[in-house]
Structure 1
């Protein structure tokens, strides 16, 4: 059995760690927020494992005994740190916009499935001017958190496409598992959170190191991969 790129009509991107190099700021902001909330400061490794989840699920994963009051305070501190105070850069990964443009030239629809809140994605779109590339988006407050396939199923329903007509691009096990459960082919990118060893556990059609390498794969429509 082979996976053929020419059959794909929709390419769905995760955002943090896949399109945007925001992992460092997420880790720093979460650690500072925990400190300000008088909670045990999680390790960088622990924080990286929750990237892609909704904040509610991320908080309960990192801090299982969180009270409602602590949850609210942690949310306020984290948002303030990530949006306003933390100076850690969050550039787009090299080749992101070139990839989007090339796929649109190939008449592919693009979508985003992200653990970001809607306000966060809207803010990034306003800052980067990238919104026009995407036919639709789903955020953490639009659907059940990854790795539940809900946001992908919503995207498929909206675009009226079948799972085999879509392709998910992500950097975490949450992305790969979500796509696997939705029956959508997937490609892992190792420049974010998880490496090839983790991503390969979810039977991706390919694992790449960066977006230029991904573009070379996705702009060869006659190319087929064994699956």
Structure 2
């Protein structure tokens, strides 16, 4: 798998260990608005989607006004009130550095908003590794292929020259819809059985294994 020119990462659950904080922040936001509190498993299943799409699934009877309030409450919970740690996964920085030294193009395709991605990039000092990124409100939500199509066009890379790395069925389906190879990771949201349904080139249990594959 050394031939890929472009390596595209999902963020939450793939590069950053933030799944638990997403779950608790969404549950707290729902509680603040007196909505039915979703289970942890229900929230995990929408991770990777843009927030409006996620809200439609979790709260199907949500009005537009309450949906906007939910968005704001979730952001407050995640950024300011929730103290659940969100470290980078082991070997993340080393992997990004090694890929850069091999002259690989790197990108992020995430359901996070732009302000959220910029904030975690600043917090982790990782923005300089990436040549392109697309966020939840900038494109149609995963699993639509628009995020990947725009990244490929911006960097002038053909689909067969790229690989998508992700931890959810939404990442895998998006890559499949874009005719981009994909590698699943099992340490985020979805398990090996779920990821395997989307015919990834490989499934790994750590970023150390991913480094061995790509380099």
In structure 1, the residue matched to 2:51 is 55
In structure 2, the residue matched to 1:28 is 24
Q: Deviations over 1:149-199 (max 9, x none)?
A: 000000000111110000000000000000000000000000000010000
State the alpha-carbon separation in 1 of the partners of residues 71 and 103 from structure 2. Answer: 40
Q: Is the 8 A contact 2:2 2:214 kept in 1?
A: no
In structure 2, the residue matched to 1:173 is 169
Unmatched tracts of structure 1, length 5 or more: 220-227
Corresponding residue to 1:119 among 90, 115, 119: 115
Q: What TM-score comes out, normalization by structure 1 length?
A: 0.93
In structure 1, the residue matched to 2:178 is 182
1:16 aligned counterpart, secondary structure: coil
Give the Å deviation of 1:74.
Answer: 1.1
State the alpha-carbon separation in 1 of the partners of residues 9 and 55 from structure 2. Answer: 24
Q: How does 1:67-146 map to 2 (within 5 A)?
A: 67-146=63-142
Q: What TM-score comes out, normalization by structure 2 length?
A: 0.99
Corresponding residue to 1:157 among 149, 153, 158: 153
RMSD of aligned residue pairs (Cα, Å) = 0.7
Give the Å deviation of 1:16.
Answer: 0.2
Give the Å deviation of 1:141.
Answer: 1.6
2:164 aligned counterpart, secondary structure: strand
**Following superposition, which runs of at least 4 residues in structure 1 exceed 6 angstroms of deviation?**
none
